[in-house]
Structure 1
């Protein structure tokens, strides 16, 4: 959650501390002392660590923002509490920039203990978010951020449209319609309220009453919502663009009523992704990484850091004191290096967020320009790639390929952010055909952590396969796909050779059950049984889940590559 508040910095921090203390008290934990009453941490610059119960730790720190004097200030609270099979972490940051704007960010995470039990990916919205939003008078650009959906009347439609189009808006705006002849109050209470339960702090939500629905849909001809459907309006809405309407997903009434709980999860997916991927506002991006005391300086109990180790050198001025001083110096150096690495990772993450944002903007601009072409070009959605594929299908029918087999990506809109998007864009690859079950691929979206990049890596692999196929049908590939990856022609997309595997082991091939898993669908023109063994695969992820993409290279026959499976690692000697 990232919002602004008009309250002064000190007042916002005080309110946050009060709500945090109240919640801890309800949970049966010790109440932390006021930050002003707590002794300063030792050594200076480290966060103050408080132990408030069994496995309950609170870290508090404050100071100037990075950027030199006058850049602003921040206060931060990080709370760790036990959770099922791990630890739940809550980080609250209040940062005020040099211009006086105060930002509040709340991050909730669940960390697994590594016991082998999978932790749920979706962390519930913290109660702290629900209690803080009204107290802070939280805002997102021109919009007030509420904890529950607000009903819009006809007189408020213009203000809502201005809000949707405001360039300062960061949060998605969810707009729900009401079915004809159904009371607004009942629909809000029974459907929209539960549907938006996971949105506080992540999106603003509104409900159009019957009078507002007509005016809203007339004004937003290409972005309308009606019939009980719910639409998520992402930032930077362009009401005059028909193509822009495709950016803003619609959740149909039928899907909502079929399974309200699942629909609520689907509705929250895009706001959660946007909250994690968007670049931070300048004040929050300038907050330094948290510095916690090293293990030797952390208190075993109590509310203040135990300085016993620090004072040992004074108590033993001889050799023991020199040893202790050396140990402390080594600890300080190690802590400094660790902090520098953490800061570098945080800065790199922020650079990636900015790159993704620019990439998406370029995608939208390019898509608008592309969709504005005449009908003939509109049918050639892959542009130069489709033409290259056609010329290559019949050797000699087109111009010879130069050193750049495919200088353009499969689509100028950039890489997909999820497997849902990836599967919807498979048609952009003119020489690849997906023959498998989409469910195994879509299930990866539930497992993929933000920024894990499985979908983007799979897209890289598909792009490289497409370029290889374009060359292979012309007899210019110079070998199989593995060799293509090892000696990728200039101008083509590189895919790591170590992630391209030619086939399965002899053990897998000779194991009846394991081999059957890899007998995947193909057209009848490839095999009369409509099944073929796809041992060749791409490694698109690691760890326990180890996602894989299995394919069959039939460029020498039908002139295509068939992708039969995208999903979790199929069974072998290392899986169970």
Structure 2
């Protein structure tokens, strides 16, 4: 599923939810009765509106060129009104050349209040900037907290109406993800350019897209703020703006979620379903026990029969029955039973309970909760079920859920219809997936803390439990795999990550926006472990390979679960020329004169499923370069199962 658009807005105005819901419902073309949950199907479109006093989620699933698009608007009221937020996303399996545009309701919603990106105002239309507003515009450009691009259009004396039309078109197409400013006259243009400097100036009826972090006079690469010449705009009109719109929309998809939104958004569905209290929406991250599904007390087991040769337990004293006031008259005998009818299948015509799916899900969630907690206990004791245990548990229980629903006949013809039940199951699966990712993040932080404590104990041989290093902020959380790769290139000096990785890495980011959060933490942990291993090996502080490092590292050294590491490929892959060639990647001539070698060693970022990303590497930590060479990071390379 590809993500085409993402807007992150702050709105401290009153009645945030009703304003957003009204705009969304009008755009989706449904009659909204204001009920807490509304699910409407119109032709091939499906609209779902759900909210309460603290949060809400509105969805439109509609056909598009080559597939379907799902537009979702999620909001939550924060404890501080200014921190209340809205997130709008558009994702689906439509054609790759589908135009990236803001949904129509975004501009209507922006017109109802004073939304910001957290630092600068994001309005429904373009800003007209005169000499008096230049100072405010430069403050927006220089604001270090600005998260959206700022597009500045200059004056065109020959066709002033064209600049106005372009500004309006950009504002509509990029509503919520960019700020559009149109300069009033050449005096305003000159004052702005005097502040920007020659490298960042804009003129001649053209425009320039200023990304966050503008630093006049200090830019090392000024062309990252892309200009668009006035000649192209005059020749092609608003058609010349397509490249600008595509670029800004792509940037919006990769904009990282602020911490409060990243923590609260997975809980919105639980609050709306009643599984989580509204006051828990912005609470600190929950422990696994807080995610547990409430369940009734279990019935006591029947007592075991007494063993032969032993006396039965003494009976408890009982209260004598009270004497009857009067003897009741005997009741008339019941009529003789009618002859038994031929046996039939009682379940054939029995009505399906409306809450059958809910009851099945609750029971399976109960079992899943126990299994997840058991897996976490196993991890705390040093077990290796970090990934495989959770995946097998979830897979087994989801399979059981599917079998139970199929056997109940819920997916067959009936008054409820297959579509409604499939949507219900999809929503429940999405929530389980969100909970699983959250548990993964908590486990990573706990493991990082344990490694730090172990290193302190090894260094000082004194108890440091509860002591926190001032420089230890816990494991870094990335929003995309490209963020991980860029950070590794800057910080991990014993690794080499070539630019050729970027194509497949960015493909995973764009094509699988919902799954990529699973992979970022594992990728960063794997790269850190490789770097720490290479450093220890190059300094002769460790002997053995990377798999050995993961099973018995130095005290406090970063590791990954050994089951994620495979140091070779199967014979069916190594012996097949086609699959063998797919695993040949570039290396320096110091390692091989040809500049390319076969890299069978790889790390499994996701053990099963599709996609199942892999990271192939060459271990030269004890060789001439003293480095780990990353040859590939992307979806599973072809083998006998994928081809």
With normalisation by structure 1, the TM-score equals 0.62
TM-superposed CA distance for 1:200, in Å, is: 0.8
- Residue 506 of structure 1 is matched in structure 2 by 571
CA 333–83 in structure 1, closer or farther in 2 if over 3 Å, else same: same
- Residue 640 of structure 2 is matched in structure 1 by 573
**Could you tell me whether the CA contact under 8 Å between 1:202 and 1:275 is conserved in 2?**
no
- Residue 494 of structure 2 is matched in structure 1 by 431
- Residue 230 of structure 1 is matched in structure 2 by 208
User: SS of the counterpart of 1:476?
Assistant: coil
CA 33–89 in structure 1, closer or farther in 2 if over 3 Å, else same: same
The yes-or-no answer on 1:131 pairing with 2:108 is yes
The yes-or-no answer on 1:551 pairing with 2:613 is no
2:505 to 428, 441, 449: 441
TM-superposed CA distance for 1:535, in Å, is: 1.1
- Residue 226 of structure 2 is matched in structure 1 by 251
- Residue 42 of structure 2 is matched in structure 1 by 53
CA 467–239 in structure 1, closer or farther in 2 if over 3 Å, else same: same
CA 141–222 in structure 1, closer or farther in 2 if over 3 Å, else same: farther
- Residue 297 of structure 1 is matched in structure 2 by none
User: SS of the counterpart of 1:202?
Assistant: coil
CA 544–232 in structure 1, closer or farther in 2 if over 3 Å, else same: farther
CA 531–229 in structure 1, closer or farther in 2 if over 3 Å, else same: farther
- Residue 524 of structure 1 is matched in structure 2 by 589
TM-superposed CA distance for 1:199, in Å, is: 2.4
CA 212–352 in structure 1, closer or farther in 2 if over 3 Å, else same: farther
The yes-or-no answer on 1:492 pairing with 2:557 is yes
CA 528–403 in structure 1, closer or farther in 2 if over 3 Å, else same: farther
**Could you tell me whether the CA contact under 8 Å between 2:149 and 2:177 is conserved in 1?**
no
1:205 to 171, 176, 180: 180
CA 457–55 in structure 1, closer or farther in 2 if over 3 Å, else same: same
> Where do 1:315-334 residues align within 5 Å?
330=359
User: SS of the counterpart of 2:568?
Assistant: coil
User: SS of the counterpart of 2:636?
Assistant: coil
Please give the per-residue CA displacement for 1:146-187, whole angstroms capped at 9, x wherever unaligned.
3444342332111223445679x7752413364999967645
Q: Distance in 1 between matches of 2:437 and 2:497?
A: 35
TM-superposed CA distance for 1:90, in Å, is: 3.9
**Could you tell me whether the CA contact under 8 Å between 1:177 and 1:213 is conserved in 2?**
no
> Where do 1:58-73 residues align within 5 Å?
58-65=47-54
Q: Distance in 2 between matches of 1:268 and 1:499?
A: 35
Q: Which runs of 5+ in 2 are unaligned?
A: 1-6, 234-239, 275-348, 367-426, 446-457, 461-468
**Which range moves more in the overlay, 74-83 or 442-451?**
74-83
TM-superposed CA distance for 1:323, in Å, is: 11
**Could you tell me whether the CA contact under 8 Å between 1:485 and 1:497 is conserved in 2?**
yes
Q: Distance in 1 between matches of 2:605 and 2:358?
A: 43
> Where do 1:386-405 residues align within 5 Å?
none
Aligned length: 466
- Residue 151 of structure 2 is matched in structure 1 by 175
TM-superposed CA distance for 1:512, in Å, is: 1.2
CA 159–562 in structure 1, closer or farther in 2 if over 3 Å, else same: same
Q: Which runs of 5+ in 1 are unaligned?
A: 26-30, 39-46, 66-73, 294-319, 357-401
> Where do 1:324-403 residues align within 5 Å?
330=359, 342=431, 345=434
Please give the per-residue CA displacement for 1:444-479, whole angstroms capped at 9, x wherever unaligned.
332241562345533332222222111222333221
2:516 to 448, 452, 475: 452
Q: Distance in 2 between matches of 1:161 and 1:350?
A: 43
CA 458–322 in structure 1, closer or farther in 2 if over 3 Å, else same: closer
User: SS of the counterpart of 1:465?
Assistant: helix
> Where do 1:409-420 residues align within 5 Å?
414=476, 417-420=479-482
Q: Distance in 1 between matches of 2:509 and 2:41?
A: 36
TM-superposed CA distance for 1:22, in Å, is: 4.2
Q: Distance in 2 between matches of 1:352 and 1:138?
A: 31
Q: Distance in 1 between matches of 2:113 and 2:65?
A: 31
User: SS of the counterpart of 1:494?
Assistant: coil
**Could you tell me whether the CA contact under 8 Å between 1:422 and 1:455 is conserved in 2?**
yes
**Could you tell me whether the CA contact under 8 Å between 1:436 and 1:520 is conserved in 2?**
no
CA 468–135 in structure 1, closer or farther in 2 if over 3 Å, else same: same
TM-superposed CA distance for 1:497, in Å, is: 2.1
**Could you tell me whether the CA contact under 8 Å between 1:48 and 1:292 is conserved in 2?**
no
Q: Distance in 1 between matches of 2:571 and 2:432?
A: 46
TM-superposed CA distance for 1:105, in Å, is: 2.8
Q: Distance in 2 between matches of 1:563 and 1:179?
A: 49
**Could you tell me whether the CA contact under 8 Å between 1:436 and 1:565 is conserved in 2?**
no
With normalisation by structure 2, the TM-score equals 0.57
Q: Distance in 2 between matches of 1:463 and 1:529?
A: 29
The yes-or-no answer on 1:472 pairing with 2:537 is yes
TM-superposed CA distance for 1:408, in Å, is: 13
Please give the per-residue CA displacement for 1:6-63, whole angstroms capped at 9, x wherever unaligned.
8752xx66665654454444xxxxx42533xx7xxxxxxxx43443423544444444
**Could you tell me whether the CA contact under 8 Å between 1:2 and 1:105 is conserved in 2?**
yes
- Residue 464 of structure 2 is matched in structure 1 by none
Please give the per-residue CA displacement for 1:412-431, whole angstroms capped at 9, x wherever unaligned.
99565445445545254333
